[in-house]
Amino acid sequence: MISSVRVGRGLLDRPVWTRVLGKKVCVVTEPEAHRRFGKRLLAALERQGTSAALHLLPSGEAAKTLAAASKVYGTLADSGIGRDSGLVALGGGAVTDTAGFAAATWLRGIPWISVPTTLLGQVDSGLGGKVGVNLKEGKNLVGAFHQPKTVVCDLAALDSLPLREVISGLGEAVKYGLVFDRRFFDRMRRDWDRLLALDPVALAPVVRRCAAEKLRVVAKDERETSGLREHLNFGHTVGHALEAEAGYGVLRHGEAVVWGMRAALALSLMKTGLPRADALDAGRFLASIPVPRPEVNPDRLVLRMYRDKKVRGGVLRFVLLRGIGRPVVEPVTAKEARDCLEVLT
């Protein structure tokens, strides 16, 4: 399990947290993250006497392929990275997913540290140890469960984050409130403008709370055997299908999840007794978040959903809400899935 999550400013300039990996590491990142943070981190590692190799992945979702992971293996081999050393994944969700997958499969598993540099990574995708790559058939279909030794969330890395990336991260953070805690959801709504502005006083508690919730769930259901961890996929059945159907990279992950949560609220109103006032209240807030409207074929989208990891015996299953903070997993027919997509029109 993850030994710690560090949240603060300036953590990249003081990488004492790498010492859990030994005196040799491989930093896996991508060009923009390397330009902004990687050179600084490598210099700090050198100052503290840590030997560091570097591997650059492609930018964006192009990093999440088996071919890209294979090239990481080459660098790990050339650098002599073994079980007595480790890997540092520096970047957004695509980097931490692919680098973590490489760590999980190199020598049948080496230690690694996740250093998410996007808000989405710090509140969700950089946590939890679910790592993997995409196939043309769907998102995250090849992967593993491999927990990082620690997760390092340097809030200073977010200072120049584009607005769409901020919204993507906050969209994922809203999920935690809807699924686990009405008060947290209400607090995010109240502080929304400050969160969009990356006000550290408002943002730090959100990052810490999302990390705490995810680690609590992962500790109880690391490999998704009890059903508890499935609750973290609220909004993701439609969201993942949207990402794949629109073309990876057209929609940010959190943007797609906002649409997915709106669809899940509509289904919850129909199927699980979610109070109408809660559905309308949460739906209005989600509708106020400025995310692009995807142009996709609803029937093709339903077919995509049947590739979701929650499908059992050919039955589509959604994470829905009985109330805010009261998640449940329910079977959904193809017609019901098609009907809930009316929120996209």
pLDDT, tens digit (0-9, with 9 covering 90-100), for 130-152: 899 999 888 788 999 999 999 99
Q: What percent of the chain has pLDDT over 70?
A: 99
Q: For residue range 26-67, what is the model confidence (pLDDT) as tens digits?
A: 999 999 999 999 999 999 999 999 999 999 999 988 999 999
3-state helix, strand, coil in the chain (%, to 5): 55, 20, 25
User: SS3 of 162, please?
Assistant: coil
Answer yes or no: is pLDDT of 248 > 80: no
Kindly list the structural domains of the chain, giving each domain's residue range(s) and its CATH number in brackets, ordered by start.
Answer: 4-158 (3.40.50.1970), 163-344 (1.20.1090.10)
Which residues, 6+ apart, have CB-to-CB distance to 265 below 8 Å? 274, 279, 282, 283, 286, 321
Q: What is the DSSP string of 190-251?
A: HTHHHHHTT-HHHHHHHHHHHHHHHHHHHHH-TTS-SSTGGGGGTTHHHHHHHHHHH-BTTB
321 bridge partner residues: 327
Token look-up 């959604």 returns: 318
User: SS3 of 283, please?
Assistant: helix
Query: Is residue 1 very low, low, confident or very high in pLDDT (cuts 50, 70, 90)?
Result: low
Query: Average model confidence (pLDDT) for the chain?
Result: 93
Give the pLDDT score at 3.
63
Residue pair 111/103 in contact (Cβ under 8 Å)? The answer is yes
Report the pLDDT averaged over residues 193-214: 94
Global pTM value? 0.88
Q: For residue range 89-141, what is the model confidence (pLDDT) as tens digits?
A: 999 888 999 999 999 999 999 999 999 999 998 998 778 788 999 998 887 88
Q: What percent of the chain has pLDDT over 90?
A: 81
